[in-house]
Amino acid sequence: MRVLTISLEYPPHIEGGLGRHVAELVPELAQQGVEVHVVTPASEATLRQLNLVSSKFPEEIGSVSAVSPQTIVTQENGVVVHRIVMPQSYNTDDLYNHVAEANRLLEAYVDQLDAQYGGWHLIHIHDWLTSFAGLTLKQAKNLPLVVTIHATERGRVRGHLNNNLQRSIDQAERNLINGADRVIVCSHYMFDELQSFFQTPAPKLDVIPNGVDIEGLNNHHDDDLAEFRAKYADRDERIVFTIARLVYEKGIHRLVEATPRILESCSSARILIAGKGPEAENLQRQAEGLGIADKVNFIGFISDDDRNRLFKVADCAVFPSLYEPFGIVALEAMALGCPVVVSDVGGFSEMVTHQETGITIYPDDAESVAWGVSFALTHPIWSRRHALRARQSVEELFNWPRIAKLTKEVYESALAKRKGNQ
């Protein structure tokens, strides 16, 4: 089976959970016998990170070969990766037009590959970001189209489309879901959301969760954890850690609002907030206004390794989201043995069982955030025992071999249905 995956993100260019999902899923599909080709845009900076130069491509360097002056192809973990070098005129200011332009370039490139690789059996894309190329190629080549929807614009804005960009994205999502042969969602919450927002027929939907690579998360030395911890907190302080894109729907403002109550029950608490986003300045002003700026550290962007170390040294991780289709970051915390406090919303509700594998709290409720975090901090033995159960559930249910197997079964179902209809 030869599968074409089109994604705007692929290592080393990863901005969020979607890119990480693609990066970890496709090598496992290759391990299970699927020939996967990933077509993705690349900048000069990306190529420099890979120690590749786009201006002059040799015919072959190890597993690297040139297809055209604008393209470089590599073999990575059993996956054929086609990186299309974006022109300097590539517009990154207007999101919708930026995405549409990238899709045109990716589509034009794919269109010339059939002769070289013998065509494709199926196309797999993720979210609306590559929907234009996916739908056009599906029609032009008469191929089944499998789509993974990680989140929806309507869900992010809690049902209210307030501007033309949001309405355009919502329409692109509708067109994509209607045009797909199969639609994969990461949670039963998203299953219900697509039925509600887009009237997607239930037989067209498959629920396959996200996963984590536990071995990869632990791929660093632990002998320096005490020294690492000392960078962020004193020895007698209790670390409450969260990491998120700092946008309204992540609910970080409720954590800041809850901090005075957390400090009342645990005066040694130290709140660490990692991530960047449009709400960063508002959150810092909020902390200053509450008089807790000395107890809340905004540490900005951190590397994956530092994120993993912080999960290991933190006394709890809290994710107070208002909207969360899945919430892979909580899975990562659970996989690393960190007690979790999560909003009882979306995918969090399906991965965390209250007082068995973590603590669930009411969404959009600072009092509930304060209660959950305070309970975790003041019952450390209880928290660590339940963190162990959480790690076991991750190992059993959210491993990539299982997820790749379920994804391959969706591919086979889509191919069988297409063959039966011919």
Tell me the per-residue pLDDT of 11-38, one tens digit each, with 9 for 90 and over.
888 877 888 899 999 999 999 999 999 9
H or E segment and range at residue 168:
helix 164-179
Choose the weakest-confidence range: 215-229, 292-306, 317-331, 346-360. 215-229
> Is pLDDT of 65 > 50?
no
Kindly indicate the confidence band of residue 421, based on its pLDDT and cuts at 50, 70 and 90: low
Outline which parts of the chain fall under CATH 3.40.50.2000: 2-211+400-421, 218-397
- What is the spatial distance between Cα 190 and Cα 205, in angstroms, rounded to a whole number? 10
Structure confidence by residue, pLDDT tens digits, 112-133: 887 788 889 999 999 999 999 9
- What is the spatial distance between Cα 138 and Cα 395, in angstroms, rounded to a whole number? 36
Cα dihedral value 262, 263, 265, 270, nearest 10: 80
> Is pLDDT of 259 > 90?
yes
Say which residue the tokens 């042969």 belong to: 181
- What is the spatial distance between Cα 177 and Cα 175, in angstroms, rounded to a whole number? 6
Kindly indicate the confidence band of residue 417, based on its pLDDT and cuts at 50, 70 and 90: confident
CATH 3.40.50.2000 fits 2-211+400-421, yes or no: yes
Structure confidence by residue, pLDDT tens digits, 266-310: 999 999 999 999 999 999 999 999 999 999 999 999 998 999 999
pLDDT value of residue 213 = 86
pLDDT value of residue 119 = 87
- The overall pTM is greater than 0.85: no
Question: Residue range 162-166: average pLDDT?
Answer: 92
Structure confidence by residue, pLDDT tens digits, 73-94: 889 999 999 998 877 655 556 7
* CATH code of the domain occupying 218-397: 3.40.50.2000
- What is the spatial distance between Cα 14 and Cα 170, in angstroms, rounded to a whole number? 23
